Amino acid sequence: MADLRLDAGIAAGELTPVPTEPPAGDAGIPVSGHCAEQFAPVRQEFVRNFVERGEVGAGVTVLVGGEVVVDLAGGWADAEHTIAWRGDTLVDVYSVGKAVVALLVLQLVDDGVLGLDDPVASVWPEFAAEGKGAATVRHALCHRAGVPAIRRPLTNDDLWDFATMTDALAATEPWWEPGTRHAYHTNTYGHLVGGLVHRATGELPGTRLRPLAELVGADIHFGVPDAEQGRCAEVLWALGGSPPVVDTRALTGDALMVQLSYFNPPGYSSWGVVNTREWRSTQIPSTNGHATANGVARVYQGLLEPGLLVSPDLLAVATSPQSVGFCPVLGEEVTFGLGFKPTSARRPFGPNPSSFGHFGTGGAVGFADPTAGVAFGYAMNHVIPRWQSSRNRALIEALYRCL
Per-residue pLDDT of the chain (403 residues; tens, 9 = 90+): 223 333 333 333 333 333 333 333 455 899 999 999 999 999 999 999 999 999 999 999 999 999 999 999 999 999 999 999 999 999 999 999 999 999 999 999 999 999 999 999 999 999 999 999 999 999 999 999 999 999 999 999 999 999 999 999 999 999 999 999 999 999 999 999 999 999 999 999 999 999 999 999 999 999 999 999 999 999 998 766 556 667 788 899 999 999 999 999 999 999 899 999 999 999 999 999 999 999 999 999 999 999 999 999 999 999 999 999 999 999 999 999 999 999 999 889 999 999 999 999 999 999 999 999 999 999 999 998 666 789 999 999 999 999 9
Strand order in the sheet with 365-369: 31-35, 67-75, 57-64, 374-380, 365-369, 356-359, 341-342
Strand order in the sheet with 220-221: 91-92, 290-291, 220-221
pLDDT on residue 126: 98
pLDDT on residue 249: 86
145 in Cβ contact with 183 (< 8 Å): no
DSSP letter (8 states) at residue 226: G
pLDDT on residue 20: 33
pLDDT on residue 21: 38
DSSP letter (8 states) at residue 29: S
**Separation CA 96–CA 201 (nearest Å):** 23
pLDDT on residue 237: 86
192 in Cβ contact with 169 (< 8 Å): yes
Closest CA to 350 of 375, 369, 378: 369
pLDDT on residue 387: 63
Closest CA to 50 of 390, 400, 398: 390
**Separation CA 33–CA 24 (nearest Å):** 21
Query: Does the model's pTM come out above 0.85?
Result: yes
CA distances from 304 to 76, 320, 331, 354 (A): 31, 15, 32, 12
Side chain identity at residue 270, one-letter code: S
pLDDT on residue 243: 62
Side chain identity at residue 290, one-letter code: H
pLDDT on residue 384: 83
pLDDT on residue 227: 97
